[in-house]
Structure 1
């Protein structure tokens, strides 16, 4: 329970400068970030790899916080590069430039169609965790329905998926030849 309280606080603090831009989507986005981190922890535990869980690691917290934030901060659905820029700015401000390359690889690779490496690789682990959430648990990479449901109970959707549908439809109307510019092979 203590780890959730600390994680909740850390993510809320990172998102604080963006509360006005996120507006009514603040809780939905914050819970998405927290669900992605929880799913990453569960997936990491399944790999049997050593080390701290992703939610305790700076590169995962930073990538998760900023991975979709470009949608709101830059006002675009082509948001990977704006999200990388936000993450880089945060890392520079907090003297963690050493993580910039990895964090941007995680952000740029989180919508890859094909795997980005082995299951414990940070980019692939992050990609899978985000996909679990975006797909509403339809793809769980071996996580049980109960594990998925437990994370969603802790951090409810709060309208996140409806917002994604609305953004996707709006993008498809305006750019019918490029409805999902964030998808990578």
Structure 2
């Protein structure tokens, strides 16, 4: 999907949560757009690009949304629940198990499957963006990542993650990053 159509689709899907996202709406939207675009760059198999696949669009939109809708940094379950309700309401409930796995495993520190598994592609794409292509790029060049950040600017996304992480550490010092999985 071209970037203009992708942005329109992501904006449409995120619209119901605009008030909860508040000033973080652009930052989160652009993160979703970068993750889906990175998924396109990582995917090597035949078939449609991730940006043309409903499971990637759903996982992209909902993977971190629970931060804002549930007001927690322990957001995987709320994000999975939002995705499941959305998929059911949009006639795509058959995708719920896959999308739920994509969300649940997107902060896994080790591989979540084979390189061509949608769960692993999505995990790698999110890792590249969260780490700003510093620790691992999974075959994505620095220039390609830089081009994505120019097209879909950070808009304070990483700064917001640091703020939320610091608050979680302050309030839950023995569970600062509950979304990480081994």
TM-score, normalised by the number of residues in structure 1: 0.96
In structure 2, the residue corresponding to 1:29 is in which secondary structure? helix
Question: How far apart, in 1, do the equivalents of 2:159 and 2:142 lie?
Answer: 21
Measure how far apart 1:72 and its partner are.
0.2
Question: How far apart, in 2, do the equivalents of 1:151 and 1:51 lie?
Answer: 23
Q: Check if 1:53 corresponds to 2:53.
A: no
Q: What residue number does 2:29 align with?
A: 30
Question: How far apart, in 1, do the equivalents of 2:142 and 2:9 lie?
Answer: 27
Q: What residue number does 2:9 align with?
A: 10
Question: How far apart, in 2, do the equivalents of 1:145 and 1:164 lie?
Answer: 22
Measure how far apart 1:64 and its partner are.
0.4
Counting matched residue pairs gives 181
Q: What residue number does 1:69 align with?
A: 65
In structure 2, the residue corresponding to 1:110 is in which secondary structure? coil
**Cα deviation per residue 1:57-82 (whole Å; 9 max; x = unaligned)?**
00000000000000000001000000
Segments of 5+ residues of structure 2 without an aligned counterpart are none
User: How large is the Cα RMSD of the aligned pairs?
Assistant: 0.7
Among 120, 125, 133, the residue aligned to 2:121: 125
In structure 2, the residue corresponding to 1:68 is in which secondary structure? coil
After the TM superposition, which residues 63-142 of structure 1 pair with which residues of structure 2 at under 5 Å, given as runs? Answer: 63-138=59-134, 139-142=136-139
Question: How far apart, in 1, do the equivalents of 2:18 and 2:144 lie?
Answer: 29
Segments of 5+ residues of structure 1 without an aligned counterpart are none
Question: How far apart, in 2, do the equivalents of 1:53 and 1:149 lie?
Answer: 20
**Cα deviation per residue 1:22-69 (whole Å; 9 max; x = unaligned)?**
00000000000000000000001xx3x100000110000000000000
In structure 1, the residue corresponding to 2:177 is in which secondary structure? coil
